[in-house]
Amino acid sequence: MPRTLFTVIMLAVFILLTGRYWSAIVKKPTGADWVAMLVYGIATLAVSFIVGAIVQSIFGATANTATKGLAAGGAPEIVTFYIGTAIQLLGEELFSILPFLAIVYVLYAKVKLSRKSSVIIAWLVVAVYFGAAHLPTYGWNVAQALLIIGVARLILTLAYIRTKNILVSTGAHILNDWFGFTFVLATSAAFLS
């Protein structure tokens, strides 16, 4: 329920504030969008792995405990977990893309920066903001949250910037996170057997 409310409340407020224009960020995925989801999902995984290895060797890392004990819960609990995380990851994209768009608007329309400068500043600010939001998840490990999660956010936001479709960044985010969750579940299941 919290995952659903996290997403629904943000989406409802966004729709309330923008009226019929809310759909400007959501488009029916094309064939190119599905390919982009895959490409950005793989890019996020690859870059996160590289940055993660560097950060872990220097600062250490804290495991994400989202899947802790999940394998013991059986198939229904695992399926529910994946459905719930898909909904939550759409919420995380709203949590990132809506502030990104707001910052771009303020910097471009009000501060009168160039469009390119506005996008770059908003892109970086949202990466830090998103990373900081993950501090509790990773035991307040600042390097892990800001560097690993922040860099992953840069790629996921780039997916939105390039396609103007939040479903593409959401799809890439789901691929990235589900791969990680599946890896942890598979290794914990192998360990339990």
For 30-55, how does the pLDDT look when each residue is reduced to its tens digit (9 = 90+)? 999 999 999 999 999 999 999 999 99
The per-residue pLDDT for 157 is 98
Name the amino acid, one letter, at 172.
Answer: A
**Alpha-carbon distance 92 to 113, whole Å?**
27
Task: Single out the residue of 160, 118, 145, 135 nearest to residue 27, CA to CA.
Answer: 160
**Structure pTM?**
0.90
Both tokens assigned to 26: 């959501």
- First-residue to last-residue Cα distance in the chain: 32
Residue 81 is encoded by which pair of tokens?
A: 């977990």
Extents of the domains making up the chain: 2-7+30-60+67-192
* pLDDT less than 70: residues of the chain: 188-193
pLDDT value at position 71? 72
- Are 88 and 16 contacting, i.e. CB atoms less than 8 angstroms apart? no
Q: Are 32 and 39 in contact (CB under 8 A)?
A: no
pLDDT reported for residue 190:
55
5-39: burial string, b at 16+ Cβ within 10 Å, e else: ebbeebbeebeeeeeeeeeebeeebeeebeebbeb
pLDDT of residue 181: 86
